[in-house]
Amino acid sequence: MEEYAEIILRLLEEKASISSDEIPIPYSCLHGVLLSLESKNQIVFEIKEKHKKVLTDEGKDLLEYGSQEYNLFNSIGDNGSDISILEKFPLGANYAFKNKWIRADKEKVYRNKEAVEDSVVKQLGALSILTEKEFSDLKKRKLVDQSKTNIYIISKGSSYGIAESCNVELTAEIVANYQGQKFKKYNFNTVGNIPNCGSLHPLMKIGEEFKKIFIEMGFAEMKTNRYVESSFWNFDSLFQPQCHPARDAHDTFFLKNPEFAGSFEDEEYLKRVQDVHESGGFGSKGHQSVWDRREAMKNILRTHTTSVSSRYLKDLASDFRPVKLFSIDKVFRNESVDATHLAEFHQVEGLIAGEGITLGDLMGFMGTFFEKLGLKNIKFKPAFNPYTEPSMEVFGYHEGLKKWIEIGNSGIFRPEMLGPMGFDESVTVIAWGLSLERPAMIKYGLNNIRDLVGHKVDINFIKKCKIIHF
Ligand code: FB9
């Protein structure tokens, strides 16, 4: 690239301005070299669109082999030829008649002249001097076309000067035979050209920021690639009663086909879940109601990623070790939609499993987590969740909004959930959850969720959203 830059700078020594046609470097490198020189104010350049008259492939053939009308004319004998000869020159015949080069009766075709000039070949050989009409007629015959090319007009910039020649690329050859050459300093601050195409959705950007925070705090990500879940993992394994209103079709999307989940992998575990629902255990009296296996096997769109947490915890129980896990993915709720709620949103969930972890640890962890989101002042309010006890709603004071906002929910998973999985009672699991949409709407100053997600989103909004660094 440096040698190309030098060529351009040398050419500008002799002329006030040069065009790209004059520069003996590959066109594909030209833009990059010009941007580099312009960034140092050594040159300025403008781009002009150039229309160039070119031959099509058909035109090139005709230039080489002559027009059909010319070849037809020369194929006709001195006493004329059978009329069938016209079939060999379907295009040429029209033009030969039109030019009055030939005439015909019912049986034969005759030349009207001794000789003619192939005017089309002559025109194709001199495109630059054609009249508009001549060019247009040849274009109609698909013999010529106009190509658009950009040409660069380059002139000296305010800091124009032939830079001392310097080697940019340090090669083994130079090292072996170093003779004091100068090297251009690496510019570690330079950035690549921002491609004017493709942009991450702001939700994905926020999700990546949350992921970074979790990973910073030592959490591992759970696999969440299961939108369709059984009611068992989404509700029953969490000790959520089968009569709970959240399990109603007004709140949950049930699948028609396949309506039910397949065979269950751990029937003994399933029996323990049934028992804890019906008659309690692990210090609980249970829900004291009949538990229906069919209800548990109904397929739904998961209503929270806590179903994923439940699956991971069940696997962990048989070979326990302390873990910190998180998940960020889509969940679905069949609820009335409004300016801030749609039937789907992205849930963020963190959980910590260990011996003797307390509510205080949960409050402390959330304090650290939300502080990384810029919410330094948080408070907790007792709440109820079917699968955690105690549970807390979490609020944070938002300095920008100058008010307290709800920022999530949390709690300690119940023994009725962990016991049937096989955890020792010394193990406690704390967890908390929030969404992506709410922080995204606050961060980007949106009041309607349809400005963030959905078919009405302004694509320019997506493109201009900068990555949020909390
Ligand atoms: O995200 C929410 N609010 C929020 C979060 C971060 C934030 O960051 C600031 C800009 C820097 C701002 C706001 N919320 C949770 C609270 C509300 O928005 C609420 O109205 C909407 N909630 C969703 C559910 O609504 C149907 C947000 C979503 C939510 C709520 C609870 C959980 C997950 C998502 C949970 C949980 C949980 C509890 C215990 C154990 C495991 C998981």
Q: Are 453 and 337 in contact (CB under 8 A)?
A: no
User: Coil, helix or strand for 245?
Assistant: helix
Q: Are 392 and 409 in contact (CB under 8 A)?
A: yes
**CA nearest neighbour of 370 among 342, 392, 386:** 392
**CA nearest neighbour of 222 among 352, 134, 94:** 352
- Any ligand 1 atom below 6 A from CB of 375: yes
Question: Whose Cα sits closest to atom 23 in ligand 1?
Answer: 435
Q: Are 221 and 211 in contact (CB under 8 A)?
A: yes
- Any ligand 1 atom below 6 A from CB of 286: no
- Any ligand 1 atom below 6 A from CB of 385: yes
Residues contacting residue 8 through CB under 8 Å, at least 6 positions apart: 18, 23, 25, 33, 34, 37, 43, 154
Q: What is d(CA 273, CA 233) in angstroms, rounded to the nearest whole number?
A: 11
- Any ligand 1 atom below 6 A from CB of 406: yes
Other beta carbons within 10 angstroms of residue 147's beta carbon come to: 9
For position 233, what pLDDT does the model report? 98
Structural domain boundaries in the chain: 203-225+301-464
- Any ligand 1 atom below 6 A from CB of 350: no
- Any ligand 1 atom below 6 A from CB of 346: no
What is the pairing mode between strands 108-111 and 102-104? antiparallel
Mean per-residue pLDDT over the chain, rounded: 92
For position 166, what pLDDT does the model report? 59
Instruction: Please provide residue 181's backbone torsions phi and psi, each rounded to the nearest 5 degrees.
Output: -60, 150
Q: What is d(CA 71, CA 89) in angstroms, rounded to the nearest whole number?
A: 8
Residue of 359, 434, 446, 447 with the most ligand 1 atoms within 8 Å of its CB, for mutation: 434
Helix (H) or strand (E) holding 443: helix 437-443
Question: How far, in Å, is the centroid of ligand 1 from the Cα of 423?
Answer: 28
Residue-wise pLDDT for 104-150, tens only, equals 999 999 999 989 999 999 999 989 889 999 999 999 999 999 888 78
Q: What is the DSSP letter of 372?
A: T
| Amino acid letter for position 143 | L
**Cα angle vertex 369, ends 365, 373, to 5°?**
160
Question: How far, in Å, is the centroid of ligand 1 from the Cα of 295?
Answer: 28
Other beta carbons within 10 angstroms of residue 96's beta carbon come to: 27
Q: What is d(CA 270, CA 291) in angstroms, rounded to the nearest whole number?
A: 11
pTM of the model: 0.64
| Amino acid letter for position 395 | F
Tokens of 145: 């076309």
Beta bridge partners of 432: 350, 410
Place of tokens 């939700």: 203
Q: What is d(CA 283, CA 273) in angstroms, rounded to the nearest whole number?
A: 14
- Any ligand 1 atom below 6 A from CB of 373: yes
Question: How far, in Å, is the centroid of ligand 1 from the Cα of 347?
Answer: 8
Place of tokens 């369709």: 228
Question: Whose Cα sits closest to atom 36 in ligand 1?
Answer: 433
Question: How far, in Å, is the centroid of ligand 1 from the Cα of 370?
Answer: 12
- Any ligand 1 atom below 6 A from CB of 443: yes
Residue of 438, 447, 452, 468 with the most ligand 1 atoms within 8 Å of its CB, for mutation: 438
For position 353, what pLDDT does the model report? 98
For position 236, what pLDDT does the model report? 98
Residue-wise pLDDT for 62-84, tens only, equals 998 899 999 999 999 999 999 99
User: Coil, helix or strand for 267?
Assistant: helix
Q: Is the bond preceding residue 258 a cis peptide, omega within 30 degrees?
A: yes
Chain Cα centroid distance, residue 56? 38
Question: How far, in Å, is the centroid of ligand 1 from the Cα of 433?
Answer: 6
Length of the chain: 470
**Cα angle vertex 361, ends 358, 365, to 5°?**
150
Question: How far, in Å, is the centroid of ligand 1 from the Cα of 156?
Answer: 58
Place of tokens 């105690």: 390
| Alpha carbon distance, N-terminus to C-terminus of the chain | 39
Residue of 303, 407, 443 with the most ligand 1 atoms within 8 Å of its CB, for mutation: 407
**Cα angle vertex 308, ends 304, 314, to 5°?**
135
Residues contacting residue 390 through CB under 8 Å, at least 6 positions apart: 359, 382, 411, 412
Tokens of 369: 């987590």
Strands (E), 56-170: 81-82, 102-104, 108-111, 144-156
Strands (E), 81-209: 81-82, 102-104, 108-111, 144-156
- Any ligand 1 atom below 6 A from CB of 207: no
Q: What is d(CA 2, CA 422) in angstroms, rounded to the nearest whole number?
A: 68
Place of tokens 């949950």: 252
What is the pairing mode between strands 344-355 and 102-104? unpaired
Q: What is d(CA 96, CA 81) in angstroms, rounded to the nearest whole number?
A: 14
- Any ligand 1 atom below 6 A from CB of 430: no
Chain Cα centroid distance, residue 165? 42
- Any ligand 1 atom below 6 A from CB of 374: yes
Give the mean pLDDT per block of 10 residues along the chain (470 residues).
86 90 86 90 90 90 91 92 90 91 93 92 90 92 88 91 63 87 76 74 93 97 98 98 89 96 94 98 97 97 98 97 98 89 95 97 96 96 97 96 97 98 97 96 91 90 76
For position 165, what pLDDT does the model report? 55
- Any ligand 1 atom below 6 A from CB of 355: no
Q: Would you say domain 203-225+301-464 falls under CATH 3.30.930.10?
A: yes
Q: What is d(CA 333, CA 245) in angstroms, rounded to the nearest whole number?
A: 12
Question: How far, in Å, is the centroid of ligand 1 from the Cα of 292?
Answer: 31
